[in-house]
Chains A and B, each alone.
Chain A
């Protein structure tokens, strides 16, 4: 049974043009101790999925889903306090923009100690617990590679560089010993050595502690290196999902193909000095969403049928939503 099971998640935003679905029937599931990558270009709604999973979206937006289960319990139906308990103990999130997601008016020590759940503290008097909290915080900071813990803990956000803030956010997310870590672009802008360290840490935790990771990123190389499964998102719709190896070898959806082609390191057959391929145009804005398959206007294989949303088909655990998939005979 999947740990997190989302089926047809739709998120609607009230705009002056009426209700617009920023996420349109997105499906996503995460098995225990798997690393699932969530890929898509900017504006495809990756961060919105992350925020809807933990419920950090404004109340006036409409979230509906056929199924949004955490270990069999319906997240949308449960009470606010039950849901909070799950986000507090089982799910951790690293949001994009590490420095903006830390409180500017509190020291980092106050913030990291706030995220230590009660189950990590052994029973004791409150002054003993205070020391315990500090010890746990320091230990966790060392784990993500912050050596100067005293300076980090006594600082405010604006006094630290962005990459320290990012590492700090990762430490803060891992401190509750979550079952699922949702990492929204955790390594963006880091230099390569640090990035590799962080990716190694996540992989190690996945192997040793059975941590599941939902890894949201643009970085195809990092994803190819660590993820087991991958979900490709375009403009709020899931276009393809399946095992990493399957998708890499034989993408079925034209968008996935374009995405993989745009990363030159995946293409062994690329002759030197040949032009890099990419899809023409840009991702449509929320005000001008095409009907049917939203890739339609940019898709090289689009035909008349594409104005209707294709149903999701499934072959050997490999799901895709396309009327005219690649490698599937001549349509």
Chain B
């Protein structure tokens, strides 16, 4: 068990290290002055330039240069944005919760919808119920996210006018920033019109969450269905029936556990797909999250921001994936071989 944990932690640290290295190399590969790309402040005088040179230890060879960069990165000094001259790290911390919030709700919804439907399709394997669910999920899986969100805006926001089409909350409400999660912030704040603000925020959430979760729901359904079908055709389910257990006893005691645990890492992997899709959706819905910010940075060739955003998003994805994998390994008694990542 310790070996398994050690291996995963090793993987995590090495991957993060390589990401840092990649982001450092990016500063040299981007067009323009390397120092400007690293720090985000165009040097105004020779004196300032010299100071930055010292700060990033560029003249002392690439190794100590990277070492200095690593220390700065770990201490949260990621340079400032070329456009707004605000620290990149603070920007990311400020914007990340919005993206996480969106992805989290979309994930919860996909699981809430996908899990029962997937299990149902798996149990009713090769019936019309199964085929129906499968075709719906295939359709949902095939929609491109950007097209789907535009379509949703067109129908629900423009044609029918039920829902707002952009932003997190109407400008009328002034919610102080605490955690960055809008719903929590509203609940914590002491604005007079709390209920109305909450309702408004929820209305703003509907369309982005929906367009994000449709694709993920389809993926979740397919994953779970396959797993349930495999487990239900295995010998130990038959053996459980021969013990005289009822359908629900077999389902809860043997079926579910064995169907869900092995695909947990794959389900968690959907979160990273979600985060990627969230960036597209954020741009379309002008959702003030890290995706929209990063794409703006790319448009404006804001190199320190691109570098920081890339590092932050990939670090989150890697950390999340590895920790879910680790948790599942701890919960689920697998073959010893699989602890050593041989199978």
How far is it, in angstroms, between the C-alpha of A158 and the C-alpha of B246 when the chains are bound?
Answer: 26
Please tell me if the beta carbons of B261 and A88 are within 8 angstroms of each other in the complex.
no
Residues on A with beta carbons closer than 8 Å to the beta carbon of B178: none
How far is it, in angstroms, between the C-alpha of A115 and the C-alpha of B239 when the chains are bound?
Answer: 11
Please tell me if the beta carbons of A100 and B240 are within 8 angstroms of each other in the complex.
no
Most A CB within 10 A of own CB, among B233, B244, B257, B332: B244
Residues on B with beta carbons closer than 8 Å to the beta carbon of A55: 241
Please tell me if the beta carbons of B234 and A100 are within 8 angstroms of each other in the complex.
yes
Is A130 at the interface (CB under 8 A from chain B)? no
CB distance from A208 to the nearest CB of B (A): 24
Residues on B with beta carbons closer than 8 Å to the beta carbon of A56: 238-239, 241-242
Is A15 at the interface (CB under 8 A from chain B)? no
Please tell me if the beta carbons of B243 and A106 are within 8 angstroms of each other in the complex.
no
Given contacts A105-B332, A114-B253, A156-B333, contact A84 B246 (CB under 8 A): yes
Please tell me if the beta carbons of A114 and B257 are within 8 angstroms of each other in the complex.
no
Is A104 at the interface (CB under 8 A from chain B)? yes
Residues on B with beta carbons closer than 8 Å to the beta carbon of A103: 236, 240, 253-254, 257-258
| Choice from B234, B238, B239, B244 contacting A88 with Cβ under 8 Å | B244
Closest to A117 in B: B244
Instruction: Kindly identify, within residues 87 to 114 of chain A, every residue whose CB is under 8 Å from any CB belonging to chain B.
Output: 87-89, 92-93, 95, 97, 100-106, 114
Is B75 at the interface (CB under 8 A from chain A)? no
| Choice from B239, B240, B257, B336 contacting A105 with Cβ under 8 Å | B257
How far is it, in angstroms, between the C-alpha of A114 and the C-alpha of B245 when the chains are bound?
Answer: 9
* CB 8 Å contact bits of A63-88 with B (1 = contact, 0 = none): 00000000000000000110011111
Given contacts A55-B241, A56-B242, A158-B333, contact A106 B254 (CB under 8 A): yes
Please tell me if the beta carbons of A158 and B242 are within 8 angstroms of each other in the complex.
no
CB distance from A88 to the nearest CB of B (A): 3
* CB 8 Å contact bits of A48-64 with B (1 = contact, 0 = none): 00010011101010000
The count of chain B contact residues (Cβ–Cβ below 8 Å) is 24
Most B CB within 10 A of own CB, among A56, A58, A81: A56
Closest to A53 in B: B242
Instruction: Kindly identify, within residues 288 to 343 of chain B, every residue whose CB is under 8 Å from any CB belonging to chain A.
Output: 332-336
Please tell me if the beta carbons of A95 and B254 are within 8 angstroms of each other in the complex.
no
Please tell me if the beta carbons of B244 and A85 are within 8 angstroms of each other in the complex.
yes
Please tell me if the beta carbons of A158 and B336 are within 8 angstroms of each other in the complex.
yes
Given contacts A105-B332, A114-B253, contact A100 B242 (CB under 8 A): no
How far is it, in angstroms, between the C-alpha of A172 and the C-alpha of B246 when the chains are bound?
Answer: 18
CB distance from B239 to the nearest CB of A (A): 4
Closest to B239 in A: A101
CB distance from B120 to the nearest CB of A (A): 15
Is B50 at the interface (CB under 8 A from chain A)? no
How far is it, in angstroms, between the C-alpha of A88 and the C-alpha of B245 when the chains are bound?
Answer: 7
| Choice from B126, B236, B246 contacting A104 with Cβ under 8 Å | B236
How far is it, in angstroms, between the C-alpha of A158 and the C-alpha of B338 when the chains are bound?
Answer: 12
Residues on B with beta carbons closer than 8 Å to the beta carbon of A105: 257-258, 261, 332-333
Residues on B with beta carbons closer than 8 Å to the beta carbon of A89: 244
Please tell me if the beta carbons of A87 and B243 are within 8 angstroms of each other in the complex.
yes
* CB 8 Å contact bits of B226-251 with A (1 = contact, 0 = none): 00000001111011111111100000
How far is it, in angstroms, between the C-alpha of A101 and the C-alpha of B258 when the chains are bound?
Answer: 13
Instruction: Kindly identify, within residues 256 to 294 of chain B, every residue whose CB is under 8 Å from any CB belonging to chain A.
Output: 257-258, 261
| Choice from A93, A114, A156 contacting B242 with Cβ under 8 Å | A93
CB distance from A188 to the nearest CB of B (A): 14
Please tell me if the beta carbons of B238 and A102 are within 8 angstroms of each other in the complex.
no
How far is it, in angstroms, between the C-alpha of A95 and the C-alpha of B241 when the chains are bound?
Answer: 11
Please tell me if the beta carbons of A115 and B234 are within 8 angstroms of each other in the complex.
no
Closest to A110 in B: B253
Residues on A with beta carbons closer than 8 Å to the beta carbon of B243: 87-88, 114-115, 172
Residues on B with beta carbons closer than 8 Å to the beta carbon of A97: 235
Residues on A with beta carbons closer than 8 Å to the beta carbon of B233: 58
| Choice from A60, A86, A100, A156 contacting B236 with Cβ under 8 Å | A100
How far is it, in angstroms, between the C-alpha of A104 and the C-alpha of B335 when the chains are bound?
Answer: 9
Residues on B with beta carbons closer than 8 Å to the beta carbon of A60: 126
Please tell me if the beta carbons of A101 and B235 are within 8 angstroms of each other in the complex.
yes
Residues on A with beta carbons closer than 8 Å to the beta carbon of B245: 84, 88, 114
Closest to B331 in A: A105
Please tell me if the beta carbons of B242 and A87 are within 8 angstroms of each other in the complex.
yes
CB distance from A91 to the nearest CB of B (A): 8
CB distance from A54 to the nearest CB of B (A): 5
Please tell me if the beta carbons of B242 and A54 are within 8 angstroms of each other in the complex.
yes
CB distance from A137 to the nearest CB of B (A): 14
Please tell me if the beta carbons of A104 and B258 are within 8 angstroms of each other in the complex.
yes
Instruction: Kindly identify, within residues 205 to 244 of chain B, every residue whose CB is under 8 Å from any CB belonging to chain A.
Output: 233-236, 238-244
Residues on B with beta carbons closer than 8 Å to the beta carbon of A102: 236, 239
Closest to A87 in B: B244
How far is it, in angstroms, between the C-alpha of A153 and the C-alpha of B233 when the chains are bound?
Answer: 26
How far is it, in angstroms, between the C-alpha of A132 and the C-alpha of B333 when the chains are bound?
Answer: 27
Closest to B234 in A: A100
Residues on A with beta carbons closer than 8 Å to the beta carbon of B126: 60
Residues on A with beta carbons closer than 8 Å to the beta carbon of B261: 105
Residues on B with beta carbons closer than 8 Å to the beta carbon of A80: 246
Residues on A with beta carbons closer than 8 Å to the beta carbon of B253: 103, 106, 114
How far is it, in angstroms, between the C-alpha of A106 and the C-alpha of B239 when the chains are bound?
Answer: 14
CB distance from A254 to the nearest CB of B (A): 34
9 smallest CB-CB distances across A and B, nearest first, come from: A88-B244, A101-B239, A87-B244, A100-B235, A93-B242, A56-B238, A101-B235, A156-B333, A56-B241
A selection of 13 A-B contacts at a CB cut-off of 8 Å is A56-B241, A80-B246, A88-B243, A93-B242, A100-B236, A103-B236, A103-B257, A104-B236, A104-B333, A105-B332, A114-B253, A158-B333, A158-B335
Other contacts beyond A97-B235, A100-B235, A104-B236: 8, CB < 8 A = A51-B238, A84-B244, A84-B246, A87-B241, A87-B243, A95-B235, A106-B253, A156-B333
Q: Please give the residue numbers on chain A whose beta carbons come within 8 Å of chain B beta carbons, in ascending order.
A: 51, 54-56, 58, 60, 80-81, 84-89, 92-93, 95, 97, 100-106, 114-115, 156, 158, 172
